[in-house]
Structure 1
Amino acid sequence: MSLLPNTMRAVAATGSVPLDDERALADVDLPLPELRPRDVLVEVAAVSVNPVDVKTRMRRPADAPRIVLGYDAAGTVVGVGSEVTLFAPGDEVYHAGVITRQGTNAEFHAVDERLVGRKPANLSMAEAAAMPLTTITAWESLFDRFRLDASSGGTLLAVAAAGGVGSILTQLAATLTGVSVIGTASRPETRDWVRGMGAAHVVDHHGDLAAAVREIAPDGIDRVFTPSTAGRLPLYADVLRPFGEIVAIDEDPDMDARVLKSKSIAWLWESMFTRGVFETPDMIRQHELLDEASAMFEDGRLRSTLAREIAGIDAAGLREAHALVASGRSIGKVVLVR
C-alpha cells in the first residue's frame, strides 16, 4: 500500500441535471479509498454503465453531495484488508460492488472480497467489466428467485432480452436449465442478438405481445422476467398460466398487484445489491457464482455481452455511455476502458 498514491482521479456525478450540463459528470481528484478488513483495493482497468447508474444520478436532488457512480469493474488487486483470504495483490478480478459505497468510476475501487470474482482468463478487461452486475442479477433471478435447476422445463418470457441482463439471463437459462426462453426485441439487429444469446423464440414487445406469445405457447407461459414493468402487469397476468411467477428488477409506483390474484401468480423482486448492502450470511455466494461464471466463460459456455467500447474512464466518456444507456436502444453492454 505504501507505493500507492494518496489521491486518485474519479468521475463525480451531480443529481438531476441534464446530461449535457458539465456538472452532471465531472472529473475530480479524491483520496484513495480506505480499506475495511475484508476489502480488496482494485486498480480499475474497465467499467461498464448500467441503467442503475442513470437512475441513481437522476433521482438525486441537484443540490445533493456529488457521488462516484459505477457498479461494474474489472482490474487488478493492488491492496488487501487485514482479514482478506480470497485474493492477493496481482490477481485479476471482476466485480460489481454495492450501491451504498463509492462506485467504480475511479482509478481505484475498494470492495468486499465476498463480492469479487476471478476474472475469466480468456476475456479482456473490457469484456469482463461488462458482466458482473448483469450476471449476478440474472443468476439470482433464475436460481434463487425462480429456483430453477438442470431439470427445470417450461417457458420463460425474457422481456428486453437484448439488454445487459436479458442477454446473459438467456445464455444462463439455455445452458444450465431445460427452460425454453422467449425473448422480446423489436429491431432486426436486436432480434438477431437475442437469437445469438440462445433464445428459442423472439417476439416484438412493441407489437401485440400477448398474441405473439400465445402463438408460441397457446396454453400460456410459466415465468416472466422483466426489467420493464410499468403498465405491463395485466399483460403478464394474461399470458401466464395459473401459479406462474414473475421476477422483476424494476419498480412501477402505480402497480396494482391484484390482477395477479385470480391465477395465484407469484411476484418476486430481485436486487443484486441485497446481499452486499445487508451483508447477509450468504454474501460470499456472489463471489462463488462469479467464479462459476468465470469457468463458463473460459470453457465457451458463456460469452461476454460487450457491444460498445469507449476509450477513457472520464466524464466525457461516461456522458456518452449514460446517453446510450438512457436511450433504451443500446444492445448488450457499454464499457469504458482506461
Structure 2
Amino acid sequence: MTQTTNTMIGYTANLPTENPEAFVVRTGEVPAPGPGELLVRVEAVSVNPVDVKQRASAPAKGFRVLGYDAAGVVEAVGENVTGFAPGDEVFYAGSIGRPGSNQRFHLVEARLVGRKPSTVSFGEAASLPLTALTAWEAVFDRLEIDPDAQGDLLVVGASGGVGSVLLQLVRARAPRVRLIATAGQANAEWVRSMGAHEVVDHKGDLVAQVLGLAPDGVNWVFSSHSHEQEGLYARLLRPFGKVVAIDDGPRDVAPLKGKSIGWLWELMFTDPLHVPTSEHQRWILDQVAALVEQGAVHPTVTDDFGPLSPDSLRRAHAAVESGRTVGKIVLSGWDESVLA
C-alpha cells in the first residue's frame, strides 16, 4: 500500500446537525493492523440511530470518529488473523468501544468482520451489518426462535432498519413463524415487501388489531419502541411468552409477572465489548452474506446520500434524527475534496 495519510470525519463538540461544524475533517497516518486486526479501505458506510445518539451526547474527548456500518476492501492483515487477505471485500459493524468507520482507512477486529455479499454494491452491503446482527441476535439468540419454530412474532417498529431486515431473516430461517408487523399506513407496503404476513396500524388500537389476528396472544414480541409499553405487551403475549427490546429507557416489568413473561435486551455491541474471543458476529455476517447471494435477504437501502463528507454526514444524521426514515441511509464513496 502506497497511501500514507488517512482521512477521518468526526466531531469535536456535541453540535446540532444545522451547525456546519457538527462534523470536521482530520488527517493522520494510516495505521498498521495489530494482532487480530484488519486494515480496511472503507468504500461505503451507513448511519444508524446509535450514531445520532453518540454525536448528540457522548463526549468527543478532543476528536471522535463515529460509524458502525461499513463495507470495503482489506488493505492489510495483522498477525494471528486467518481467513482474510489483502484485496478481500468485507462488511462489518465493528465496536462502539473503538474509533468508527467514517474514515478512509479503518482498523477493525477481524473476529467482527464478514465477507461482503458478492451480488451487491458496497453501498448496499453497508446497509446490513448493524441491523442484521441486531435482528439475528434478537430473534435467534435472545428469543431462541429456531428453524422449526411455529407461532406468532409481533414486530414493533417494523419499517425501521432493524425491523426491515428482521422480517426477511425470519422468513428465510423460520418459515413457519407468522410475522405481524406494526407500521404506519404509509409504510405498510414496505413492511409487506420485507416479509410481513400481517400489518397492523401502529396508531390504532393494537390490542384489538393484534388479538383479532391472534386471539390467544402472540408468542414473541420484538420491539424498538417499548418504553412504557410493558402493560400492552402483557396483554398481547401468551403465558410464558418473551419480549426482546432494543430501545432505551426505564422499565417497570411487573405487569409481565402474571403470565411469567420474560423481558430480554438486545445490544449488538455486547459481543464486541464483553466477549473478546467470540467470533459469533463474523459467523452471523457470513450467514447473512450467503442469504443475500441466494436472494433470500435484500439490502434495505432507501436513500444513498452520495460520497462521504462532513456535509453528507450532517444530512444523513438529520434524516435519522427525524425518526421518519424507512430502511437505511447509506453514503457511498468519498468526496474527493476531503481526501488527503
Q: So what's the TM-score if we normalise by structure 2?
A: 0.94
For 1:109, the equivalent position in structure 2 comes to 106
Residues 188-221 of structure 1: per-residue CA shift (max 9 Å, x gap): 2x11110001111011112212221111111111
Counterpart Cα distance in 1 of 2:254 and 2:177:
27
Match of 1:239 in 2: 236
Q: How far off is 1:64 after superposition?
A: 4.1
Write out aligned runs for 1:140-179 (5 A): 140-177=137-174, 178-179=176-177
- Alignment partner for residue 305 of structure 2, among 306, 310, 316? 310
Preserved contact between residue 10 and residue 314 of structure 1 (Cα < 8 Å): no
Partner of 2:24: 26
**Partner residue of 2:264 out of 243, 262, 268:** 268
- The corresponding residue for 1:335 is 330
Amino acid at match of 1:90: G
| Equivalent residue number for residue 93 of structure 1 | 90
- How many angstroms apart in 2 are the aligned matches of 1:299 and 1:44? 25
Give the C-alpha shift of residue 152 in structure 1. Answer: 0.3
Q: 1:212 aligns with which of 209, 212, 226?
A: 209
Match of 1:293 among 288, 292, 295: 288
Structure 1 counterpart SS, 2:15: coil
Give the stretch that moved more between structures: 257-266 or 30-39.
Answer: 30-39
- Give the secondary structure class of the aligned counterpart of 2:53: helix
Among 314, 325, 334, the residue aligned to 2:320: 325
Q: Distance in 2 between matches of 1:287 and 1:30?
A: 29
Contact preservation (8 Å) 1:173, 1:179:
yes
Contact 1:70 1:104 in 2 (8 A): yes
1:6-51 CA deviation, whole Å, 9 max, x = no partner? Answer: x211111245322111232122223323422011011000000001
> What's the RMSD between the two structures over aligned residues?
1.3
Q: Give the deviation of 1:279 after TM superposition.
A: 3.2
SS of residue matched to 2:259? coil
The answer to whether the 8 Å contact 1:14/1:64 transfers is yes
Deviation by residue 1:274-328 (Cα, 9 ceiling, x = unmatched): 11112344x2111111111111111111111111001111110111111111111
**3-state secondary structure, aligned to 2:24:** strand
**C-alpha separation in 2, matches of 1:160 and 1:15:** 31
- Work out whether 1:182 is the aligned partner of 2:170: no
Distance 1:140 1:4 in 2: 37
Q: 2:64 aligns to what SS in structure 1? A: coil
Instruction: Give the share of equivalent positions with the same residue, in percent.
Output: 47
2:52 counterpart of 1:54: yes
In structure 2, which of residues 187, 192, 195 is the aligned counterpart of residue 195 of structure 1?
192
Confirm or deny: 8 A CA contact 2:17 2:315 kept in the other structure. no
In the alignment, the residues of structure 2 paired with residue 114 and residue 182 of structure 1 have an alpha-carbon distance, to the nearest angstrom, of: 34
Task: Tell me what 1:4 maps to.
Answer: 3
| Residue pair 2:70, 2:93 contacting (<8 A) in 1 also | yes
Residue 273 (structure 2) aligned to one of 277, 280, 283:
277
**Distance between the aligned counterparts of 1:27 and 1:280, measured in 2?**
31
1:73 to 70, 74, 87: 70
> Alpha-carbon deviation of 1:272?
1.1
Contact 2:156/2:222 (CA < 8 Å) preserved in 1? Answer: yes
Paired residue for 1:129, among 120, 126, 129? Answer: 126
- Provide the rounded CA distance (Å) in 2 between the counterparts of 1:130 and 1:331: 12
State the 4+ residue runs in structure 1 displaced beyond 3 angstroms. none
Normalised to the residue count of structure 1, the TM-score between the two structures is 0.95
CA distance in 1, matches of 2:12, 2:228: 30
Q: 1:14, 1:57 within 8 Å by CA — same for their partners in 2?
A: no
Look up the SS of the partner of 2:221 in the other structure: strand
Tell me the amino acid that sits aligned with residue 263 of structure 1: K
For the structure 1 residues 35 and 260, does the alpha-carbon distance in structure 2 shift closer, same or farther, using more than 3 Å as the test? Answer: same
The aligned counterpart of 2:337 is: none
Paired residues, number: 332
Q: Name the stretch that deviates more: 7-16 or 32-41.
A: 7-16
Change in Cα spacing, 1:29 to 1:299, as seen in structure 2 (3 Å) is same
